[in-house]
Amino acid sequence: MSIYLTFLLNITLSVAVSGERLSVSGNHFLFKGEKVFLSGGNLPWINYGYDYGNNQWAEVKARVEKQMQMLHRAGGNSLRLWIHIQGESTPQFNEEGYVIATDTQGTFIADFKDMLDLAQSYDIFVIPTLWNAAVDQDYHNRLNGLIIDPGKLTSYIRVVLTPLVEAVIGHPALAAWEIMNEPEGLLNLQFNEDPCFDTFMLKVSGAGWAGWKYSYQQLLRFISWQTDAIKSVDPQALVTVGVWNPKSNTNSFGMVDHYSDTCLYKAGQKALGKLDFHDFHSYSFEGEFDTVAAFVHNSSDYRTSKPVVVGEFWSQQGGHRTTKQLFEYLYRHGYSGAWSWDLVDNGADQRAGISHIQNYTGNGKIHIDL
């Protein structure tokens, strides 16, 4: 075994023994041996797509720190934020669409590590979301290349993702990786004989709102390969995907869990390419939640053995409930976390909800010490 591999193994083992990382036990999270509830919000960015790399972090760090400080004071313990989004700033691509560097000025990994260090100083878990499919602003077809071309995706994994995971393995503030926000935004709705890839039943669901570009087979390969790469470096890492609605991520209510272990393996053929917990988003339409939404169900209704976090919600589309009521509902109905949208533009309202449940303990403690 090489000295380098021995070094990585020692880090992994020391972290496992100390119990200083967030982990999954059945359908809930553990931290330092205690059940925890992830309470917080979405940052999600200061400058959309331009917060990390290319010496950009130095310009936004103070504003991010202010958000972390206010979140901590409100009693929150976790923060979801976005990284590459659609590749306009990072990583660096060549003219053929292959990834050749983390960024043009070489600060990306240092920026990311500094962000985690900052979060640790405020006892905040971070969930970095690497990519976004809720809109189609892929002006240079960079994200498109990674999704449809395995060779280009491999270049990203080799040049950026693997070195990034190696650089932050075991960091206490790194709660989990989220591969993509709302893949369903760019989902091509079409019939497939395999239920994992059949999107015909989602035609009237609202999926594909940003453009019918990718099959589920392409999106799931994109997700599973990156998940496998992360876990190949860091076997204890937690990984998820933020889905626009539980409809695509549950086998309950006559739906198909397209992100199941089985479906991800079919698409990617990667043994480690499986997700550790659910991240449902939940917004009402014309004042009402649909029949599958988190806010009309208990977490147990989804019949999953994994934790369920509701990673996006807000009072503007909250079914006539206040932010306090929304946070309390998720805590009281067996969910494992709540991240409201969003702390930058709606911070006071979000922090009121976070503060409302900060001392709750029946479904996991919220206060943590990193």
Q: Which residues are catalytic?
A: 182, 312
CA distance 223 to 246: 17
- Bond preceding residue 91 cis, omega within 30 of 0: yes
Name the nearest CA neighbour of 24 among 36, 15, 13, 14.
36
Q: Which long-range contacts (CB under 8 A, 24 or more apart) does 63-66 make?
A: 64/115, 64/118, 65/118, 65/122
Task: Write the single-letter amino acid at 196.
Answer: C
Q: CA-based Rg of the chain, rounded to a whole angstrom?
A: 19
Which residues is 8 bridged to in the sheet? none
Q: Which two tokens stand for residue 225?
A: 């390969």
> How are beta strands 239-243 and 34-36 bridged, if at all?
unpaired
Q: How many C-beta neighbours within 10 Å does residue 50 have?
A: 17
Distance CA 352, CA 322 (A): 10
Exposure pattern of 144-158 as b/e (b: 16+ CB <10 Å)?
bbbbbeeebbebbbe
Which residues 6+ apart lie within 8 Å of 173 measured at CB? 116, 117, 119, 120, 124, 125, 126, 370
Given a contact cutoff of 8 angstroms between Cβ atoms, the answer to whether 344 and 310 are in contact is no
Dihedrals phi, psi of 82, to nearest 5 degrees: -105, 145
